[in-house]
Amino acid sequence: MLRILSALILCALITGCTDETKHQSEFRGTWFLESRKPARGDLIQSPQISGLIEWFPTDKTRAYVHVSVTNNRESIRIVDGLYDLQGTTFTFQSNLRIGDIAAEKSDATYETTLQEGTGQISSDDARVTLTHDKGARFEFIGTQLTITHPNGTVDSWKRSKDQKGVLAK
């Protein structure tokens, strides 16, 4: 009886001490765009294209995410949104979009209507993948991030700053 009680207490402690944020440590931080391969076209590398992703956890399951991409001084595309990660699924809400992140050039359209989406989280070994219901796929492997857009464009990103300690424990 004492052994069973001790085992149950140990299991409860281990479960209570696990990282409830699960994948947030894989995502959080500042990411810089290294290259883009359009579905039809040649590889574009920095400095001809630049981009920034800020993945900033606001609590254990939610994060504010800012994505911006530009390939010249007059063209910038921006998406700001909130991710909510729940087990093997996530939801996404965006209130600000300027142009299309995967587009060659900005069409200077500004949208502030709420856009929502969902998706699946999967992981194997060191790879964590966010598959969005609208076709985008984010593959995180250590300090590397590959984003495949619905139009076939593939972006390669590298994390430069991991904001450890920002996430509430």
Which residues are within 8 A (CB) of 133 and not within 5 positions of it... i.e. 6 or more apart? 117, 118, 119
Q: Where are the domains of the chain?
A: 21-161
Query: CB 61: neighbour CB atoms within 10 A?
Result: 17
State the pTM of this model. 0.79
Instruction: Name which of 81, 49, 85 is nearest 66 in CA terms.
Output: 81
pLDDT at 108 (0 to 100): 66
Is 33's pLDDT higher than 50?
Answer: yes
Give the bridge partners for 35, in sequence order. Answer: 45, 156
Contact yes or no for 165/25 (Cβ under 8 A) = no
User: What is 21-161's CATH number, 2.20.25, 2.40.128, 1.10.10, 2.30.30?
Assistant: 2.40.128
pLDDT digits (tens, 9 = 90+) for 46-101: 888 899 999 999 888 999 999 999 887 677 888 999 999 999 999 999 988 887 66
Beta strand spans in the chain (E) = 29-37, 44-45, 50-57, 62-72, 75-86, 89-98, 110-111, 115-124, 127-132, 137-141, 144-148, 154-161
In the structure, what pLDDT confidence band is assigned to residue 8 with cuts at 50, 70 and 90? very low
What rounded mean pLDDT belongs to the chain? 80
Is 21's pLDDT higher than 70?
Answer: no
pLDDT digits (tens, 9 = 90+) for 98-144: 876 666 655 667 667 888 999 999 998 889 999 999 899 999 999 99
Residue length of the chain: 169
